[in-house]
Amino acid sequence: MLQDEDQQSLFMNWLDSHAASVMKVARAYTLTSEESQDLAQEILLQAWRSLPKFEGRASPATWFYRVALHTAMNWHRNDKPRRSRQQPLLEVQDVATGVGDSAQQAQHRETVEQLYQAIHRLPKADAALVLLYLDQLSYREMSDVMGISESNVGVKLNRAKKTLRELMNGRSHES
């Protein structure tokens, strides 16, 4: 059992390392930037509450992802009625580095927005795998987070990527 001061220090170090992952998960499971912030706060609260149960069997990154994904899936399921009345997020966080707004940066933002819209349409377990893939986790790490075998990760990820490709390519036909 960690002392309160040690737990706080450990949590702050992990937060520094994994805040971007928390935001990616929150963004993928929400429709507005306000919801994204709310979900990110909920993920951090759940991570803080779960920290005393951390046994070190998984890496901190895997553990943080597992908490984030489980929290996001529960939040998504429990908050469905309210979200069904909302409009999708139109703005995209600045994905380009540098100053100014070129046509290439605008196209990049459009592509990222289309990707998030397509991810929203995937089954939630597939969406979770895609997020892990986008964060460049290994199949081993993905299997640890998702609680499935590495070969199952490969199969599910290939299917999810195929579905994403279809959604991205056929997006204008289905709108």
CA distances for 168 relative to 48, 61, 88, 105, angstroms: 36, 29, 16, 19
pLDDT at 4: 64
With contact defined as beta carbons under 8 Å apart, do 169 and 90 qualify?
A: no
pLDDT at 159: 92
Q: Assign residue 65 a region: left if phi > 0, alpha if psi is -120 to 50, beta otherwise?
A: alpha
pLDDT < 50 stretches in the chain: 1, 82-83, 85-100, 172-175
Confirm or reject CATH 3.20.20.70 for domain 1-89, answering yes or no. no
Angle formed by the axes of helices 60-78 and 124-134, to 10°? 150
Q: Which CATH number fits domain 101-175: 1.20.1440.120, 1.10.10.10, 3.40.50.2300, 3.40.50.300?
A: 1.10.10.10
Tell me the domain boundaries of the chain: 1-89, 101-175
pLDDT at 81: 54
From CA 162, how far away is CA 81, in angstroms rounded?
Answer: 29
